[in-house]
Amino acid sequence: MVLLGLFTISDAAQNTPAQDPGEPPQGQPHPELLSRPGGAIARQSVDEKAMQVLIHELVGCGTRHSLSSWTDSKRGIGCGRDFVAMRFRQISAESGGKLQVTVNEFAATSERTGGKPVPMENVYAILPGNDPKLAKTLFIVSGHMDSISSRWTDPEPDAPGADDDASGTTVSVECARLLSKAAASGQGFPRATILFAAVSGEEQGLLGSKHMLDWIKEQGYTVGGMLDDDIVGADLAPGGPHRVRLFSGNGTVDDCDSPSRELARAIEEIDGRSAIRMIFRVDRYGRGGDHYYFYKAGLPAVRFTEPLEDYTHQHQTPRTENGIVYGDMEKYLDFKFMGDVARDNAEALRQLAMAPAPPARTILKGAVTPDAKISWTAEEDPERAGFEILWRETTESRWQVYDFVVTGTETILKGVSTDNHYYAVRAVGKNGARSIAVATEAN
């Protein structure tokens, strides 16, 4: 009986009548889709060996607790900063000086700094965009170089932090290598600016990323997208291929179309569903990460994390207790998986940084009329081919392309009800790169 019931429901679901009134009378238009930009980052161009070396160096600092020494070159977070900055500088030299490497010093306070300001440092490598307007838009990839032991406020115990988050730091650095190389080879990349970051103070309350957001605003940049990589180094069931999880928050509207969600959708579209597992929540249940303050500011920000975490390897002082080995050690990492994550981040950044700016003020009008009217604004861009009009069933999670508009900033979807779908607009470059989508708002 139960089985029979299931079949009945499933049959009914598959035979949903397609002739509901208020839908396009002759089916939707079939826009010609520009293919995405060639020259994709090849998986085999990822240098897993170099990633392994950097992680070994970071783990070799003993601890990278944010309250440990910034001046001891052998032990502490200063040792970690030195290795990251050195690697960025080496990568820059290899690409003919494409990267601007900066160590950003600041002070930050939280409960976990004992309530008093402590010195912190972030390391940034910047790949400047070559389009005068878009160069003020920043796409960011970030990992946190600090680590933590079982005693959260104690900088003394060992805290190898191989997975959390030497892995994300190393993904950020490898992206810098892959993309500065791509930039050195020319081909109009990147139009927007890319920031490769290694921040501190994550375990003390997201202090480094919060400061980075302030710094970005001070420098006059707008955020095109922020990719936080945190705990991306292990695959508990190797042999996959397994998808990396990509977390994005719902935002404050009721349609799940926050800028962060649009960034997640864009990344999934670029890297493919077999590589990315979108998760529609801001982070793992009850936990947080460096994308959080960007997300809360209404900016597009997402978090990459491995498919399944092993909690005996996180935030643990290395030890064996009752036969269980605790500690975030290198031996638990999977460099094949981490290399996949690096490639997926790099390719997403490459395509996003090649795209025109997203449209602004996307408005849906036409309530209580038979047609949906969509309008938007956009600055002049000779490299833009046009705009894709996107729509989706309110129960679907991904956009579909409804139409393509070459000129103008308004379109009328004849005979399409405003009520039954969500709508968005995105810009498409002549090179085929798409901006993130911008969901329509009510008039």
Contact segment (CB under 5 A) with Zn ion among 8-16, 81-89, 157-165, 352-360 equals: 157-165
Q: Please state the closest distance from residue 127 (CB atom) to Zn ion, in A.
A: 24
Q: Please state the closest distance from residue 403 (CB atom) to Zn ion, in A.
A: 42
> Between 204 and 435, whose beta carbon lies closer to Zn ion?
204
Contact segment (CB under 5 A) with Zn ion among 1-9, 58-66, 155-163, 222-230 equals: 222-230
Q: Please state the closest distance from residue 177 (CB atom) to Zn ion, in A.
A: 22
Which H/E stretch holds residue 213?
A: helix 207-218
Q: Please state the closest distance from residue 298 (CB atom) to Zn ion, in A.
A: 23
Q: Please state the closest distance from residue 56 (CB atom) to Zn ion, in A.
A: 19
Half-sphere exposure of 371 (CA within 13 A, CB side): 8
Q: Are 252 and 258 contacting, i.e. CB atoms less than 8 angstroms apart?
A: yes
Contact segment (CB under 5 A) with Zn ion among 109-117, 230-238, 241-249, 273-281 equals: 230-238
**131 makes contact with Zn ion (CB under 5 A):** no
Q: Which of 131, 164, 306, 340 binds Zn ion (CB under 5 A)?
A: 164
> Between 292 and 402, whose beta carbon lies closer to Zn ion?
292
How far is 424 from 258, CA to CA, in rounded Å?
Answer: 11
Q: Please state the closest distance from residue 167 (CB atom) to Zn ion, in A.
A: 9
Nearest to 46 by CA among 358, 344, 383, 422: 344
Please state whether the peptide bond connecting residue 334 to the residue before it is cis, i.e. omega within 30 degrees of 0: no
> Between 165 and 334, whose beta carbon lies closer to Zn ion?
165
Contact segment (CB under 5 A) with Zn ion among 161-169, 260-268, 341-349, 394-402 equals: 161-169
Contact segment (CB under 5 A) with Zn ion among 158-166, 210-218, 233-241, 303-311 equals: 158-166
Total residues in contact with Zn ion, by rule CB under 5 A: 3
- Residue 112: how many CB atoms within 10 A of its CB? 17
Site for Zn ion in 45-104 (CB under 5 A): none
Q: Please state the closest distance from residue 147 (CB atom) to Zn ion, in A.
A: 8
Contact segment (CB under 5 A) with Zn ion among 125-133, 162-170, 298-306, 320-328 equals: 162-170
Bridge partners, 384 (sequence order): 429
**146 makes contact with Zn ion (CB under 5 A):** no
Nearest to 34 by CA among 435, 440, 439: 435
β pairing state of 222-229 and 137-144: parallel
Q: Which of 230, 269, 283, 340 binds Zn ion (CB under 5 A)?
A: 230
Contacts of 268 (CB under 8 A, 6+ apart): 246, 276, 278, 398
> Between 206 and 353, whose beta carbon lies closer to Zn ion?
206
Exposure string of 189-227, with b = 16+ CB inside 10 Å and e = fewer, is: bbbbbbbbbbbbbbbbbbbbbbbbbebbeeeebebbbbb
How far is 375 from 387, CA to CA, in rounded Å?
Answer: 11
> Between 82 and 164, whose beta carbon lies closer to Zn ion?
164
Q: Please state the closest distance from residue 143 (CB atom) to Zn ion, in A.
A: 8
> Between 230 and 235, whose beta carbon lies closer to Zn ion?
230
> Between 137 and 147, whose beta carbon lies closer to Zn ion?
147
How far is 365 from 12, CA to CA, in rounded Å?
Answer: 33
Length of the chain: 443
Q: Are 23 and 417 contacting, i.e. CB atoms less than 8 angstroms apart?
A: yes
Q: Report residue 113 CA to chain centroid gap.
A: 28
DSSP letter assigned to residue 299: -
DSSP letter assigned to residue 434: B
**165 makes contact with Zn ion (CB under 5 A):** yes
How far is 226 from 88, CA to CA, in rounded Å?
Answer: 19
Q: Please state the closest distance from residue 158 (CB atom) to Zn ion, in A.
A: 17
> Between 134 and 333, whose beta carbon lies closer to Zn ion?
333
Return the residue matching tokens 């969509």.
374
Q: Interface residues with Zn ion (CB under 5 A)? A: 164-165, 230
